[in-house]
């Protein structure tokens, strides 16, 4: 009798794992193609709190939705096809399904600066592209052509924009798998702007008026409106002074002879050589106008 009882007990213990394996079933995975960081739904039967997911050699803990549904957050894994199986720690389900993990497309969220001066030095043209999912080996395209860039992280790319004519240029990031971000705009502008006006060197009968700003060119012109002192009812006198390249040295500048003129130093500096008709202070308004008609704001100064 004792021998028969032991036999039935052994058979019952063997039946338990066989029954468990039969109950743990894997039917479907949805979606079958998924990016990292997304959730997939796993459908089957016999799911419990002990059910684990085997994916690419890793044992992952899913969220138990019901006895027939699990939800799994896909970890960071290389792009490719992976076998997905289920286990409860005792047995592993016989079924295995294929799950393809794809890397998401890169995305651009911000460009800093978004506006670059046409006339600028390399430091002023250093641009940072911020976003996400920038992969090692990614390329940065400007109007469809690759430009040298540094991938600082998966969220940042920096590059020195080439010196380009004014206009709108599209930036895109392309990952090694060919996926591209949506294009974002980088603007190059050539609108002149005056930052400051100050007196410079003083000569016999003339002096310098230094104009600091941006987007100045050798062909820039200066519009001067002069308000006569003591005659508030008289309209201002207006003159247009065309720019010239600077000569070497202040002595060379004086050799140009009498008559106001404008010297181009660089894209940030113009020098207005002024021959006042009197030493009495008066109000002047100054405006820079470039050859294409773009003009700065009007700035005022009280000087001779």
pLDDT digits (tens, 9 = 90+) for 117-141: 998 889 999 999 999 999 989 999 9
Give start-end residues of each CATH 2.60.40.10 domain in the chain.
21-102, 107-189, 193-303
| CATH number at 193-303 | 2.60.40.10
| CATH number at 21-102 | 2.60.40.10
The CB-side HSE value for 80 (13 A sphere, CA atoms) comes to 7
DSSP per-residue string spanning 42-84: EEEE---TT-EEEETTEEE--EEEETTEEEEE--S--SEEEEE
CATH topology of domain 107-189: Immunoglobulin-like (2.60.40)
Cα Rg of the chain, angstroms: 37
Spatial distance between the Cα atoms of 171 and 173, rounded to a whole number of angstroms? 7
Peptide bond into 114 cis (omega under 30): no
Chain centre to alpha carbon of residue 173: 10
- Residue from 250, 285, 249, 290 nearest 267 by CA: 290
Spatial distance between the Cα atoms of 266 and 218, rounded to a whole number of angstroms? 8
**Strands laid side by side in the 150-153 sheet:** 107-112, 126-132, 156-160, 150-153
3-state SS, residue 297: coil
Residue with the larger pLDDT of the pair 215 and 304: 215
pLDDT 10s digits, 257-296: 458 899 999 999 999 999 887 778 888 999 999 999 999 9
pLDDT 10s digits, 150-165: 999 999 999 999 999 9
Instruction: Output the pTM of the full model.
Output: 0.68
The answer to whether residues 270 and 200 touch, using CB atoms and an 8 Å cutoff, is no
The answer to whether residues 87 and 54 touch, using CB atoms and an 8 Å cutoff, is yes
Spatial distance between the Cα atoms of 171 and 296, rounded to a whole number of angstroms? 28
pLDDT 10s digits, 57-75: 899 999 999 999 999 999 9
Query: Mean pLDDT throughout 141-150?
Result: 95
The answer to whether residues 76 and 82 touch, using CB atoms and an 8 Å cutoff, is no
């Amino acid at each position: 009798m004792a021998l028969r009882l032991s036999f039935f007990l052994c058979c019952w213990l063997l039946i338990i794992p066989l029954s468990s394996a039969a109950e743990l079933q894997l039917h479907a995975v949805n979606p079958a193609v998924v990016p990292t960081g997304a959730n997939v739904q796993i459908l089957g039967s016999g799911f419990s709190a002990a059910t684990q997911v085997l994916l690419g050699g890793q044992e992952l803990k899913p969220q138990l939705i019901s006895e027939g549904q699990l939800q799994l957050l896909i970890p960071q894994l290389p792009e490719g096809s992976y076998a997905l199986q289920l286990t409860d720690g005792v047995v592993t389900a016989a079924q295995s399904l294929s799950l393809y993990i794809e890397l998401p497309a890169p995305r651009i969220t911000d460009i800093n600066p978004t506006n670059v001066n046409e006339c600028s030095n390399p430091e002023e043209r250093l641009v940072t592209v911020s976003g996400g999912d920038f992969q090692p080996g990614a390329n940065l395209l400007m109007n469809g052509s690759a430009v040298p860039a540094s991938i600082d992280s998966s969220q940042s790319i920096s590059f020195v924009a080439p010196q380009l004519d004014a206009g709108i240029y599209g930036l895109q990031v392309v990952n090694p798998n060919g996926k591209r971000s949506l294009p974002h705009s980088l603007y190059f502008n050539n609108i002149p702007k005056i930052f400051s006006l100050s007196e410079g060197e003083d000569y016999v009968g003339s002096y310098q008026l230094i104009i600091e700003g941006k987007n100045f060119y050798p062909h820039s012109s200066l519009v001067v409106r002069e308000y006569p002192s003591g005659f508030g009812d008289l309209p201002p006198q207006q003159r247009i002074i065309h720019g010239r390249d600077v000569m070497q040295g202040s002595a060379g500048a004086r050799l140009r002879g009498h008559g106001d003129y404008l010297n181009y130093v660089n894209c940030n500096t113009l020098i207005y050589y002024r021959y006042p008709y009197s030493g009495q202070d008066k109000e002047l308004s100054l405006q820079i106008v470039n050859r294409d008609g773009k003009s700065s704001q009007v700035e005022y100064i009280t000087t001779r």
